Structure 1
Amino acid sequence: MTDSIPETRPAKSGHALIQDYLRTLDGSPGVYRMLDAQGAVLYVGKARNLRARVSNYARGSGHSARIARMIRETCSMMFLTTRTETEALLLEQNLIKQLKPRYNVLLRDDKSFPNILVAKSHPFAQIKKHRGAKAEKGNYYGPFASAGAVNRTLNQLQRVFLLRSCTDATFSSRTRPCLLYQIKRCSAPCVGRIGQEEYDSLVADAELFLQGKTTRIQADLAAEMAAAAEAMEYERAAALRDRIKALTAVQSVQAINPRGVPEADVIALHMEGGQACVQVFFIRGNQSWGNRDFYPRLNGVESADEVMQAFLAQFYDGKVPPRLILLSHGIEDPDLMTDALSEKAGRKVVLGVPRRGEKAELVENALRNARESLARRMSESAAQQRLLEGLAEALDLPAVPQRIEVYDNSHIQGTNAVGGMVVAGPEGWIKSQYRKFNIKGTEITPGDDFGMMKELLTRRFARLLKEDPDRQTDTWPDLLLIDGGAGQVSAVHEIMAEMGVEDIPMIGVAKGEDRDHGKEEFHRHGQRPFALRMNDPVLYFIQRLRDEAHRWAIGTHRAKRAKAAMANPLDEIAGIGAARKRALLQHFGSAKAVSRAGLADLVAVEGISESMARKIVDHFHKG
């Protein structure tokens, strides 16, 4: 792979600029980037033949409005050649996710998906939810669409197979069965209520269930129940009967369970009004493991096959694709995408657009969900847009805000002080943009809300000015809402003036008489406070914005306070990890006793060398 950055040509742009670049290109596969006058990436594309692909942009006509606008804005280009087109496709999607170009289809929600882990590092296997790298020993089943889908399945598994979900530490410390045993959700291996062989059999059955082999499990349970009844082991027979009933109940409430599709992702796309919704259903072990909807960022003129291809490439970047992917629409390069996904999975991956049969029914169900989800979102967006327009009118703003940032502080008499920022826009809360701020200023008097808000805003705008001084991106707010009255507004305006951003509208929201909801007063710098009528929808909207900021800030404060309460002085000593800390606490009983220990006593602890013992003594007895 080679990187080529031709010399800058400031005198040209658009078609003429691109025509010049053609002289430096050959027919290699690769990736190209189109940049604007500020160096921001407008578009990232891949090509089987870079020269042929870029030559399309050099034409003066025949482009859609979107492409023509993009060409006009292009002031420079960058090129990366690759060995194969498949490599170019993978690189293209990495760059799109990293750079978020304005003219690319962009998958905005890229959270990881949870799995169920049957952890086998302990003789009695534990079943639990897992998210992230698969580093722990055991068998992983997933992905599931959401934490809720995992929790429902875990609950089903506990009801039917009675597997433990407690940690190894809890397991080893139990002296009597816990509540889960009492409500028939665990077999209590921690206190010997079940033997190793019988528990291993339960684990094996649970894994068969996760693989979709429920018929075999039911047959085996029925045979065991009959044998137990014949041997007059009525208590065991009754327990097996209850497990069969639980398994039957689980099967009856599960959603779509296709008989002929053991493993697949079902992906359906619906586009309307310049927006798109993609629904993904996860089928594993002939069971539906939930669905998730996505709303890719579009420019409004993309074709369905273009959107679907971009979604697939970005969705499976960092995820292992299943053996079968069922689609509602075809894509531009199916063979290339199949090769890229197969290479990622290390096995054959099949893409299909079914037209009949069970697979087509699965796709139609996903498509119906996509249609309904997009309709709900568009309805909510229309209502949100009306509220934003009403907000602009009520607060006399120069334009309808597209990004509102709301700030609040939280502390208890100045301790564990934090600040919170929440963000809202035309599509509602933008939770990926929420931020937490630990108040660090040593000169701030404990409990000084003005000083805390000053620090919070100083840090926020210092970062914005560093990362985007020309305000080219949508990370700059159109409106600031501050929880506070005239004093807070004055303090914040002082900071904004110092940083040269006082042109951004800023409103302080103060509780009015008796601090009641509905009597809020609004403060602007240099103007008299005002209020809105009590039944005004805009007032309710502002209350929700402020309450969300308060919820976020106080939740952050509580988490910080809980962490501080759990802190151990030994954590502050370099070189004291989990093993050494455990050894010291087991030997001395508490961190306070460790702080009083002498050098000889510390060296007697397993894993504590003389140099480490001296470091501990020095830490607790500075000077």
Structure 2
Amino acid sequence: MINVQAIKERIESFPKSCGVYQMIGDKDKVLYVGKAKNLRSRLSDYLRFENLSERIKVMLSQVIKVETFLTKNEVEALLLEVRLIKSLKPPYNIVLKDGRSYPYITISKHDYPRIAQYRGKFKKGEFYYYGPFTSAAAVKQTILSLQKAFLLRVCSDRYFSSTKRPCLEYYMKHCSAPCVNKITKDDYCQSIKQAQNTLLGRNKKVEEQLLSAMDKYSNEQNYELAAVYRDRVAFLRQIQMQPMDFSFEKDADFFSIVREGDLACIGVLSFRNKDNYGSTPYFVENCSDHQNGEILSTLLVTLYNKVHTPPAQIFVPDSIVDKEIIEQALYDITQKPIKVLYAKDKKRRDLLKFVYDNAQHSLKKKLTDYKNNLEKLEELSKVFSLPNVPKRIEVYDNSHISGNQQVGVMIVAGQEGFLKSEYRKFNIKEEISGDDYKMMREVLTRRFSGNIKGIIPDFLLIDGGPGHVSIVQNVLEILNINVPFACMAKGSYRNAGNERFYMPTREEFTLENDSKAMLYLQLLRNEAHRFAITSHRKKRDKQFFVSPLSKITGVGNKRKNALMSHFGSLENISKASLAEIQNVARISKGLAEVILESLNDKK
């Protein structure tokens, strides 16, 4: 039955001005966040049952109260809605998937700069940033091409400062090995400058410089060095001649949307500095009750809100809701004028058609993956006699070496596949000392009594044997959590295919080696094992490579990173002057003396 009393009782008290409203359910859980130009009118729409979808009717049956927030204008309402959705994650709002941050190419501000791929917040003063790219594959290919053309290093600063001989990249002619002085500092910096000019679209200028150097060394009969510059010119031309789907003269993003049922795919094609940076699909769930324009409006503000830098022009296929409000919202975010435009000429329409075709292909692939994963989940439901087909499966595993660097992990899977953003790792207390049962008890206790207690999975898979059954059962009973689970152990020879399963409600059993359920369970177990081993190694490496700088009072991460980035190694820092250390890390003379004394004592 639809519970609309919460709306009916307050309908006259709702203001007619613009703002944001929240549908709130049991235990004050926010079910939905929406914006409206007229709050009373918008909320009245929920009383017209015949116009509501089944999903909204289900939501209304859970609503206990409605709260409203008044805003000065529609732009404020839009920005507040986006912030609330991002922080509260209401289950009935449209959900953006695969919305990872755009990758950039970075060149470090180092004496011998490194080129690399980067995602995340900009680190002021540490890197030069180029991009954004919407395709990670495009970033990798561009970095590889620039490596070949200009022989740039990609190794970490730690490796660069500690190595005594060239690595494989040098022998593959991908790097000039500045780490062992195979190139002078001035020549390497010249190569870096040429790579930067290439990233800024100044290819012709760079090519002229390379041809001039090639001619110079050829005239001097230094044919070996002339051949190096000849190869650089060839690689540079290869970058220029890479087939592009289209070109566009200005910085711009093109959006197109394809829908099927409750799922939509929005394709984004980006151009920066006249270069095509590829296209990326974003998937939006729970959108059957929203028009295309409304979905695009929300996505645009979400995508560019304080994370991504929008271009001056954004092209969309059709008229979207309140275009001027979107432009104003983007201006408030970036303090730059952003135009949301329609494709009026053939070239722009062709670009949007290209984005549309790619989005359509991505949506079909996504739906196929959904179907295949659903079949696996249905099979798993039959094998373990689950009441429903599971939507969320959590798999647990532990890793340690002789009780050291102990870590427990949780991975999550569902109809979308592996939900890597929801993986968790748990650092285990050292006093447990490698007891797998106690480790599992701690992990499960922290999982179900911690911050994510409100999210209850449909099924648990534990990497363990019969001894783990009572541990898991005991933890769930104490915390009053009712979730079916199974423990999965390898057979007597610990080889894949002989796995045995243990549940509290049935006898030990096995599955056919090549059955769909067994292959899926092995996939889940292997992914949990991979994540556990990776987490364990990171913890071990972090412990083994603690810098002596970290132990000096007054030297935090920023100062430590500044010193290591500038000098390259602890040995170089220990040889530096007081004035150099003070200047680099911006510290007092007294602390600089302590740093030098500490490092030289250790040496």
Q: Give TM-score, length-normalised by structure 2.
A: 0.85
Q: 1:104 to 1:232 in 2, by over 3 A?
A: same
- Name the counterpart of 1:9: none
Name the structure 1 match of 2:436: 449
- Counterpart residue type for residue 312 of structure 1: L
| Residue 282 (structure 2) aligned to one of 281, 286, 294 | 294
What secondary structure sits across from 1:112 in the alignment?
A: coil
Unmatched tracts of structure 1, length 5 or more: 1-12, 469-474, 590-603
- Report Cα offsets for 1:12-32 as digits up to 9, x if no partner: x95554355454444443222
Provide the rounded CA distance (Å) in 1 between the counterparts of 2:573 and 2:313: 57
Quickly say closer, same or farther: Cα 1:242–1:106, change in 2 above 3 A.
Answer: same
Contact kept? 1:188, 1:194, Cα under 8 Å: no
Q: Which residue of 1 aligns with 2:581?
A: none
Aligned residues: 579
Counterpart AA for 1:96: I
C-alpha displacement of 1:279: 2.2
Name 1:91's counterpart in structure 2: 80
Name the aligned partner's letter for residue 244 of structure 1. Answer: V
Question: Cα distance 1:40–1:171, how it changes in 2: closer, same or farther (>3 A)?
Answer: closer
User: Distance between the aligned counterparts of 1:169 and 1:408, measured in 2?
Assistant: 31
* Residues 1:239 and 2:232 aligned together: no
The separation in 2 between residues aligned to 1:212 and 1:585, in whole angstroms, is 38
Contact 1:269 1:329 in 2 (8 A): no
Pairwise CA distance, 1:530: 1.2
CA apart distance, 1:92: 0.9
**Alignment equivalent of 2:301, drawn from 313, 317, 333:** 313
Q: Does 1:427 align with 2:416?
A: yes
8 Å CA contact 2:407, 2:532 repeated in 1: yes
- Tell me the CA shift for residue 176 of structure 1: 7.6
The CA distance in 2 between the partners of 1:585 and 1:140, in whole Å, is: 27
Q: Distance in 2 between matches of 1:367 and 1:45?
A: 28
Instruction: State yes or no: 1:458 paired with 2:445.
Output: yes
Q: Distance in 1 between matches of 2:520 and 2:240?
A: 43
| Distance across 2 between alignment mates of 1:209 and 1:587 | 33
Check conservation: 1:187, 1:194, Cα contact below 8 A. no
Say whether the 8 Å CA contact 1:441–1:455 is kept in structure 2.
no
CA distance in 2, matches of 1:87, 1:178: 54
Number of the residue aligned with 2:479: 499
The SS at the match of 2:331 is: helix
Task: Compare 446-455 and 43-52 and name the one that shifted more.
Answer: 43-52
Offset, 1:424: 1.1
AA aligned to 1:305 is: G
State whether structure 2 residue 183 is matched by structure 1 residue 193.
Answer: yes
Question: How far, CA to CA, are the matches of 1:187 and 1:170 in structure 2?
Answer: 15
Offset, 1:232? 6.2
**Counterpart Cα distance in 2 of 1:219 and 1:586:** 41
Aligned partner of 1:490 in structure 2 is 470
Other-structure match for 2:319: 330
SS class of match (1:156): helix
Q: Which moved more, 1:198-207 or 1:514-523?
A: 198-207
Q: Does the CA-based 8 Å contact 1:587-1:605 persist in structure 2?
A: no
- Give the direction of change, closer, same or farther, for the CA distance of 1:172–1:304 in structure 2 (3 Å limit): same
2:490 maps to 1:511:
yes
Equivalent residue of 2:115, what SS? strand
> In 2, distance between residues paired with 1:113 and 1:351?
20
The answer to whether the Cα contact below 8 Å between 2:403 and 2:430 also exists between their aligned partners in 1 is: no
User: Is 1:107–1:315's contact at 8 Å kept on the other side of the alignment?
Assistant: no
Q: Secondary structure, in 3 states, of the residue corresponding to 1:512?
A: coil
- Residue of structure 2 in register with 1:594 after alignment: none
Amino acid at match of 1:289: Y
In structure 2, the partner of 1:128 is 116
Alignment of 1:201-280 (within 5 A): 201-219=190-208, 221-222=210-211, 225=214, 237-258=226-247, 260-280=248-268
Residue 407 of structure 1: how far off its partner (Å): 1.0
Structure 1 residue 385 corresponds to structure 2 residue 374: yes
Aligned CA distance change for structure 1 residues 208 and 41 (closer, same or farther; 3 Å): same
1:330 and 1:561, CA in 2 relative to 1: closer, same or farther beyond 3 A? same
Distance (Å, rounded) in 1 between the aligned partners of 2:158 and 2:4:
67
In terms of Rg, which structure is larger? 1
User: Is 1:66–1:299's contact at 8 Å kept on the other side of the alignment?
Assistant: no
> How far has the Cα of 1:227 moved from its partner?
6.4
Alignment of 1:518-537 (within 5 A): 518-537=497-516
1:193 counterpart letter in structure 2? I
Residue 482 of structure 1 and its aligned partner are, at CA, apart by 1.3
Cα distance change of structure 1 residues 364 and 562 upon mapping to structure 2, 3 Å threshold = same
Give the 3 Å change call, closer, same or farther, for CA 585–172 of structure 1 in structure 2.
closer
CA separation of 1:54/1:257 partners in 2, compared to 1, >3 Å: closer, same or farther? same
Instruction: Report 1:92-131 matches (<5 A).
Output: 92-119=81-108, 121-122=109-110, 125-131=113-119
Closer/same/farther in 2, CA of residues 518 and 247 from structure 1, 3 Å limit: same
Q: Which string of whole-angstrom CA distances, capped at 9 and with x for unpartnered residues, describes residues 551-574 of structure 1?
A: 111221122122222235774565
Seen in structure 2, the aligned counterparts of structure 1 residues 43 and 147 have a Cα distance that, compared at 3 Å, is same
**Structure 2 CA distance for aligned equivalents of residues 553 and 173 of structure 1:** 29
CA contact (8 A) 1:106 1:310 kept: no
Identity of aligned residues (%): 36
Moved more, 328-337 or 227-236: 227-236
Question: 1:597 matched to which residue of 2?
Answer: none
- Separation in structure 2 between the aligned mates of residue 195 and residue 574 of structure 1, nearest angstrom: 34
- Measured after TM superposition, the shift of residue 173 of structure 1 is 7.3
- Indicate whether 1:438 and 2:415 are aligned: no
The separation in 2 between residues aligned to 1:31 and 1:359, in whole angstroms, is: 35
Matched, 1:145 2:134: yes
Contact persistence 1:508–1:524 (CA under 8 A): yes
What residue in structure 2 maps to residue 36 of structure 1? 25
Determine which of 362, 366, 380 is the counterpart of 1:373.
Answer: 362
Secondary structure of the corresponding residue to residue 421 of structure 1: strand
Distance 2:172 2:386 in 1: 59
One-letter amino acid of the counterpart of residue 532, structure 1:
L
Question: Residue 22 of structure 2 contacts residue 66 of structure 2 at CA under 8 Å; is this kept in 1?
Answer: yes
Q: 1:337 Cα shift? A: 0.8
Distance in 2 (alpha carbons) for counterparts of 1:138 and 1:564: 27
Check whether the contact 1:308–1:330 (CA below 8 A) recurs between aligned residues. no
Is the CA contact (8 Å cut-off) linking 2:287 and 2:295 kept in structure 1? no
**Using a 3 Å threshold, how does the CA distance of structure 1 residues 183 and 41 change in structure 2: closer, same or farther?**
same
CA separation in 2, counterparts of 1:373 and 1:567? 44
**Gap regions ≥5 residues in structure 2:** 575-588
Change (3 A) 1:67 1:247: same
CA distance in 2, matches of 1:26, 1:267: 35
The Cα of 1:82 is off from its aligned counterpart by 2.3
Q: 1:188 to 1:439 in 2, by over 3 A?
A: closer
* Compared CA separation, residues 513 and 204, structure 1 to 2 (3 A): closer
For residues 202-247 of structure 1, what are the alpha-carbon distances to aligned partners after superposition, in whole Å with 9 as ceiling and x for unaligned? 4443233222343454455446655665676655544332222111
2:383 maps to 1:403? no
Q: Give 2:457's aligned residue.
A: 477
- C-alpha deviation, 1:575, in angstroms: 3.9
State which drifts further: 418-427 or 32-41.
32-41
